[in-house]
């Protein structure tokens, strides 16, 4: 098996931050070639290695590392237990990095996200998560994150979009700058049109009860169970309360499609921090917990915000657990 040289010096090592590497592969042999080489170079350099891949790929990698005698030096995370909501993924890596930081050893990680079986909205948010990783770890100690990507399992154009989220691309001779990456603001896909939405509810101070009533009626019509409805009500109330506090109020729309209840809040405010809701609040932090709570409650959170056009927040909750 010929391994790409993932320790290549083709890309100068930065003093801080994430070395975020996209690894496209076409079959199982290609997957093992890149990942096994990556792990062996890391272990040879005395680095800490963690792997978060799921299903058959995890078993393949475990067996390949066992054959080379490298399995004992690798920590496998339960990728199946990581939330399907991309808005919760960055804190997973932050928590793990905090645990290993005390060792003082450099870190290499492998993370293969699940792309198949997602809605177009979920895939769009997962691409945004990949872009945000660069910002989230811009000031961290240097570490590598290799992101395997099965080129045969997703729609055309996805690979090119992911190159725009990864500064590095793994080739046969090691990581090289990704041609499609540029340090520019993220280009969001437009939100899809609502599917037969209810009549809009314009709300302001004193109207949170009406907001909750509208969400409850929509959820009841479409079979959202009680525990999931409670979480959705908490999340929508938090978003609506923020709209009242920071923008004087907003507009609520609710609808359902493909077994999911969706609530959308629009207002004239602007959320300046793209990491809002994606960083775990500290105990002594003043404010900033609302969007974090919303991410924990919902199956998907989509935020589109600009100083010119205001803010749209869509909250999605499946009628079955995500």
pLDDT, one tens digit per residue, over 172-215 is 888 999 989 988 899 999 998 888 877 899 999 999 999 999 99
Domain coverage including residue 260: 201-318
The token duo for 286 is 């003043």
φ/ψ of 215, rounded to 5, equals -65, -40
CATH number at residue 112: 3.40.50.300
User: Could you tell me if residue 134 is inside a domain?
Assistant: yes
Q: Are 137 and 263 found together in one domain? A: no
Beta-carbon neighbour count of residue 150 at 10 Å? 18
User: Could you tell me if residue 183 is inside a domain?
Assistant: no
Number of domains in the chain: 2
158 and 150 Cβ atoms separated by less than 8 Å: no
Q: Are 221 and 173 found together in one domain? A: no
Please give the pLDDT value at position 195: 84
Q: Give the helix/strand (H/E) hosting 59.
A: helix 55-68
Radius of gyration of the chain (CA): 21
Q: Are 207 and 104 found together in one domain? A: no
Please give the pLDDT value at position 287: 67
Q: Are 153 and 260 found together in one domain? A: no
Please give the pLDDT value at position 233: 98
User: Could you tell me if residue 149 is inside a domain?
Assistant: yes
Q: Are 246 and 142 found together in one domain? A: no
Q: Are 24 and 116 found together in one domain? A: yes
Q: Are 113 and 214 found together in one domain? A: no
Please list the ranges in the chain whose pLDDT falls under 70.
Answer: 1-15, 79-83, 101, 286-287, 321-322
Q: Are 149 and 214 found together in one domain? A: no
Q: Are 217 and 125 found together in one domain? A: no
Q: Is 175 helix (H, G, I), strand (E, B) or coil?
A: strand
φ/ψ of 155, rounded to 5, equals -70, 155
Give the C-alpha separation, 304 to 118, whole Å.
20
Please give the pLDDT value at position 272: 94
Q: Are 172 and 205 found together in one domain? A: no
User: Could you tell me if residue 184 is inside a domain?
Assistant: no
User: Could you tell me if residue 79 is inside a domain?
Assistant: yes
User: Could you tell me if residue 164 is inside a domain?
Assistant: yes
Q: Are 107 and 72 found together in one domain? A: yes
Output b/e per residue, 26-45; b: 16+ Cβ within 10 A: eeeebbbbbbbbbbbbbbee
CATH number at residue 270: 3.30.565.10
E strands, 163-299, where? Answer: 168-171, 174-177, 201-203, 250-257, 260-267
Alpha-helix residue ranges (DSSP H) falling in 71-192? 89-101, 120-136, 158-163
Please give the pLDDT value at position 7: 47
106 and 48 Cβ atoms separated by less than 8 Å: yes
The token duo for 52 is 């978060």
Number of residues that this document lists for the chain: 322
Query: What residues have CB less than 8 Å from 264, skipping those under 6 apart?
Result: 194, 197, 252, 253, 254, 312, 313, 314, 315
Q: Are 36 and 126 found together in one domain? A: yes
Please give the pLDDT value at position 99: 78
- Beta pairing partners, 18: 143
């Amino acid at each position: 098996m010929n391994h790409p040289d993932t320790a290549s010096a083709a890309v100068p090592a930065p003093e801080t931050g994430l070395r975020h590497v996209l690894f496209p592969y076409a079959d199982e042999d290609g997957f093992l070639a890149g990942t096994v080489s990556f792990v062996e170079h890391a272990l040879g350099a005395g680095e800490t290695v963690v792997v978060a891949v799921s299903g058959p790929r995890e078993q393949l990698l475990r067996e390949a590392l066992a054959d080379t005698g490298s399995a004992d030096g690798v920590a496998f995370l339960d990728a199946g237990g990581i939330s399907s909501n991309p808005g919760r993924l960055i804190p997973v890596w932050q928590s793990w990095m905090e645990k290993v930081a005390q060792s003082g050893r450099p870190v290499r990680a492998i993370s293969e996200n699940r792309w198949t079986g997602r809605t177009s909205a979920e895939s769009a948010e997962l691409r945004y998560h990949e872009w945000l990783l660069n910002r989230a770890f811009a000031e961290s100690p240097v570490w590598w994150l290799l992101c395997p990507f099965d080129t045969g399992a997703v729609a055309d154009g996805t690979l090119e979009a992911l190159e725009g989220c990864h500064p590095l691309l793994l080739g046969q001779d090691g990581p090289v700058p990704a041609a499609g990456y540029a340090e520019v603001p993220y280009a969001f896909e437009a939100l899809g049109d609502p599917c037969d939405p209810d009549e809009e509810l314009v709300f302001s101070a004193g109207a949170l009860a009406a907001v909750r009533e509208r969400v409850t009626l929509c959820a009841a019509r479409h079979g959202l169970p009680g525990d999931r409805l409670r979480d959705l009500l908490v999340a929508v109330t938090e978003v609506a309360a923020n709209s009242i506090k920071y923008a004087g109020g907003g507009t609520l729309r609710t609808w359902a499609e493909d077994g999911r209840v969706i609530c959308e809040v629009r207002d004239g405010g602007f959320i300046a921090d793209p990491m809002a809701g994606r960083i775990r609040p500290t105990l002594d932090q003043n404010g900033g917990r609302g969007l974090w709570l919303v991410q924990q409650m919902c199956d998907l959170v989509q935020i589109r915000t600009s100083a010119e056009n205001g803010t749209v927040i869509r909250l999605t909750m499946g009628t079955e657990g995500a």
